[in-house]
Amino acid sequence: MIRQLQNAGPTLKIVLGALLVIICASMAITLIPGGLGSSLGIGAPPPGVLATVGDQTVTVNEVEREARAMVRQQFPRGGAQASMLLPYFASQAAQQIINEKALVAEAHRMGLRVSDEELRDELQHGQLGSMLFPDGKFVGQEEYENFVQRNDLTVPQFEALEKDFILVRKLRALVSSSAFVGDTDVRDEFNQRNTKVKFEYAVITKADILKGLHPTDEELKAFYDRNKATYNNSIPEKRQIKYVVIDTAKIAAATAVTDQDLQAFYDQHRDEYRVPEQVKVSHILIKTPLPGPDGKVDEKGVAEARAKAEDVLKQVKAGGDFAKLAEKYSDDPGSGKSGGELGWIGRGRTVPEFEKAAFSLGKGQTSDLVKSSYGFHIIRVEDKQDAHLKTFAEVKSEIEEKVKQQKAAHATEADANALLSQARTSGFDQAAAAKGEAAVTTDFFSRTDSLPGLAANPQFMDAVFNEADKAPPDVVQVPQGYVVFQLLAIRPPATPTFEEIRARVENEFKNERAGFLMQQKTQELSDRAKAAHDLKKVAKELGATVKTSELVAPDGQVPDIGSMSSATAIFSLKPGDISAPITAGGNGVVAQLLEKQAPTDQEFAEKKDQTRQSLIEAKQNDLFGLFVTNLRKDMESSHRLKVNEEEMKNLTRQGAQEGS
């Protein structure tokens, strides 16, 4: 399929997008509500298969791969939190893949199809276009296949997934096409979003209440006993190890590189030092009009562009300064400001017409007008370079650092393995001493602690905390090189005594008590203010500060309240009304409305279409979400969707174990 795209032409203007796997995943997970479903139907899927959807299967390996990808996306640095959340992501991955396959199956059942032509158009103009068609030209079959392989897919799998993406998009458009929003709904929504209010408000802060709290030991001990279950095993597992760091940088500093080493590397990597034929060019671009919606080109506009380009060319031929003319006339926003300079370009990097002209010119020559899909070019060749192989002398200094790092990496690995082997046979301390290394014995530490000589490294901590008790020495690769370590002791999770966590207990007691008192005091303020019809008076009696807001919209901010999204009740008040207690910005608030300002008809007219569109999109999401929910229920009840609950439990349990 992709080979057909090489003949599709160089006129693409493509926006940078994400990988197909991420596109499909986000589509499924954001549009589809509900859980995984518990109905097994008749005959559960076999081991290794998490679910069957019609004639399609969802394998455990497929779900695990997607779950790991989701974890890497959310937690690029890994760590304990990422491992702990793996069961959640496994469940999410299973749900999104099953939902996607259910949608594809339903689309096929309804007779929807995706042609090769539609696939080609998507790859050219869709979100992956900039990766597959940089500068409007296909990257080539080899790079295309490499791109696919980097995403753990084969080419047929990739193109099938892309067709499924298009298919589900068609289905969504069909299902949500009935979404309708009336004028009254649009006006109501616009008023709700744009009505502004001005109000007085009294604030009771949790911070002020905390200042007055001085709990006794008896109160704190009672709180500790009442909440003891929450403190169970709250002291995390800790471990003690002995370790040696084999530092690559230290070994690299003592590593010698001979000319023979460098020559051998050069001989093995000659292809890396081949320089393709290149030209250093500048150009002036006079753009032509793009085709209209009907596909027709404005010939008058093309003629005007040609006339302008011919005039600029005359100025160039007459000895005009090319750089200044480019700055003045070129429509290329990138190169125009720099005198038309494009720098060095190789073959296959530009549209064919431009490439043919540029490589046919001699150094210092300027082309006549060159027509491409972008417009008319005037090309000047500043320099040329024939294809050649860089000599050993040219790249020797560049090679030296690479070879040194390679030798150091191999030596580091060899030293680590030798130390590990000797530590397992003759003991850790003796092995370290024989290698001239000083072994570090740690105190007990948790997963989140840092160790001397080691930067924070979740992978290393995972290895240490997954090591079995009394296991022999082990080795882990880290950014610095390798760490050879031996587990000495394990201190399991423990429940702290009251004395050990008195400060924590006091803090939690005061926060709980302050929250209760704040609610109680805010309720009293509201009740008394309503009874007296006077917020200021009651606030003063209770020691609360009264402030006045500016006119503020629902998406605005107010001091001590924060976002008005947490105080929406104020917008339902009438002038003079006093609100019920409001918790906003961590404070207790009571408000009295002073003024309400509705948006004008002119404002509504200006944003009516925008409001309608947002409501339609929300309704389309609701329609499609309901469609998917009903589809899942129907497929489960008719046994077209079967979930292997045992495999699902194993998958979640495995994730939990990996995170422990």
Q: Is residue 474 part of a domain?
A: yes
User: Cα–Cα–Cα angle for 526, 559, 548, nearest 5°?
Assistant: 60
CATH value at residue 95: 1.10.4030
pLDDT for 83:
64
pLDDT for 79:
56
Q: Is residue 167 part of a domain?
A: yes
Q: State the number of CA atoms in the 13 A half-sphere of 298 facing the CB.
A: 12
pLDDT, tens only, 221-235: 999 999 999 999 888
Question: DSSP characters for 250-302?
Answer: HHHHT----HHHHHHHHHHTGGGGEEPPEEEEEEEEEE-PPP-TTS---HHHH
- Does residue 165 share a domain with residue 71? yes
- pLDDT exceeds cutoff 80 at 657: no
Interval 183-202 mean pLDDT: 95
pLDDT for 80:
54
- pLDDT exceeds cutoff 70 at 95: yes
The two beta strands, 641-643 and 587-597, are: unpaired
pLDDT band per the 50, 70, 90 thresholds, residue 653? low
* Helix H or strand E segment including 186: helix 183-194
Q: Is residue 272 part of a domain?
A: no
Q: Is residue 122 part of a domain?
A: yes
Report CA-CA distances (Å) from 62 to 21, 149, 648.
12, 15, 13
d(CA 35, CA 378) in angstroms, rounded, equals 61
628: exposed, middle or buried (Cβ count in 10 Å: 0-12, 13-18, 19+)? buried
With beta carbons less than 8 A apart as the criterion, state whether 486 and 428 touch: yes
d(CA 335, CA 283) in angstroms, rounded, equals 8
**Would you give the DSSP letter of residue 476?**
E
- Does residue 430 share a domain with residue 344? no
Two structure tokens written together for 640: 């077209």
Q: Is residue 282 part of a domain?
A: yes
Could you say which of 597, 612, 638 is where a domain stops? 597
SS3 440: strand
- Does residue 440 share a domain with residue 309? no
Interval 151-178 mean pLDDT: 88
pLDDT, tens only, 40-49: 334 567 778 8
Closest CA to 593 of 608, 609, 578: 578
Could you give the strand order of the β-sheet that contains 196-205, starting from the edge strand earlier in sequence?
Answer: 545-548, 196-205, 587-597, 582-584
pLDDT for 136:
67
- pLDDT exceeds cutoff 60 at 19: no
Q: Residue 306: which domain range?
A: 277-386
- Does residue 294 share a domain with residue 215? no
With beta carbons less than 8 A apart as the criterion, state whether 620 and 15 touch: no
Which range has the worst mean pLDDT, 185-189, 293-297, 356-360, 609-613? 293-297
Give the residues across from 552 on adjacent strands. 197
The alpha carbon torsion through 627, 632, 633, 635 (nearest 10 deg) reads 120
pLDDT band per the 50, 70, 90 thresholds, residue 70? confident
SS3 491: strand
Q: In total, how many domains does the chain have?
A: 4
Which range has the worst mean pLDDT, 89-103, 133-147, 462-476? 133-147
Which residue's structure tokens are 């309720």? 523
Percent of the chain with pLDDT over 70: 90
**Among 81-95, 198-212, 279-293, which range has the highest average pLDDT?**
198-212
Which residue's structure tokens are 């003063």? 540
Report CA-CA distances (Å) from 454 to 77, 236, 247, 468.
16, 21, 10, 22
- Does residue 243 share a domain with residue 204? no
Which residue's structure tokens are 């370590």? 485
- Does residue 247 share a domain with residue 110? no
Chain-centre distance for alpha carbon 69:
11
pLDDT for 149:
80
Q: Is residue 553 part of a domain?
A: yes
Which range has the worst mean pLDDT, 78-92, 193-207, 316-330, 408-422? 78-92
65 or 423, greater pLDDT: 423
Reported residue count of the chain is 660
pLDDT, tens only, 565-595: 999 999 999 999 999 999 988 899 999 999 9
SS3 77: coil
**Among 114-118, 583-587, 624-628, which range has the highest average pLDDT?**
624-628
Q: State the number of CA atoms in the 13 A half-sphere of 320 facing the CB.
A: 21
Q: Is residue 265 part of a domain?
A: no
Q: Is residue 217 part of a domain?
A: yes
The answer for residues whose C-beta is within 8 angstroms of residue 49's C-beta and 6 or more apart is: 57, 58, 59, 60, 644, 647
For CA atoms 451, 452, 456, 459, give the dihedral sign.
Answer: negative
d(CA 302, CA 287) in angstroms, rounded, equals 9
Report CA-CA distances (Å) from 166 to 122, 282, 577.
8, 40, 53
318: exposed, middle or buried (Cβ count in 10 Å: 0-12, 13-18, 19+)? exposed
Could you say which of 562, 597, 632 is where a domain stops? 597
- pLDDT exceeds cutoff 90 at 370: yes
pLDDT, tens only, 425-484: 999 999 999 988 889 999 999 988 989 888 888 889 999 999 999 999 999 999 889 999
With beta carbons less than 8 A apart as the criterion, state whether 31 and 621 touch: yes
- Does residue 376 share a domain with residue 282? yes
The mean of the pLDDT values for the chain is 85
CATH value at residue 328: 3.10.50.40
d(CA 628, CA 33) in angstroms, rounded, equals 8
Percent of the chain with pLDDT over 90: 53
pLDDT, tens only, 539-565: 999 989 899 999 999 999 999 999 999
Could you say which of 386, 416, 441 is where a domain stops? 386
- pLDDT exceeds cutoff 90 at 508: yes
d(CA 177, CA 172) in angstroms, rounded, equals 8
pLDDT band per the 50, 70, 90 thresholds, residue 492? very high
- Does residue 58 share a domain with residue 161? yes
**Among 140-154, 182-196, 342-356, which range has the highest average pLDDT?**
182-196
- Does residue 172 share a domain with residue 63? yes
Characterize 391-430 residue by residue with b for buried, 16 or more Cβ atoms within 10 angstroms of its Cβ, and e for exposed: ebeebeeebeeebbeebbeebbbebbeebbebbeeeebee
- pLDDT exceeds cutoff 70 at 385: yes
- Does residue 227 share a domain with residue 245? no
With beta carbons less than 8 A apart as the criterion, state whether 378 and 312 touch: yes
d(CA 524, CA 207) in angstroms, rounded, equals 18
- Does residue 577 share a domain with residue 462? no
d(CA 599, CA 571) in angstroms, rounded, equals 13
Two structure tokens written together for 2: 């992709």
- Does residue 652 share a domain with residue 525? no
The answer for residues whose C-beta is within 8 angstroms of residue 50's C-beta and 6 or more apart is: 58, 59, 60, 62, 63, 94, 98, 643, 644, 647, 648, 651
pLDDT band per the 50, 70, 90 thresholds, residue 612? very high
User: Phi and psi at residue 163, in whole multiples of 5°?
Assistant: -65, -40
d(CA 254, CA 3) in angstroms, rounded, equals 51
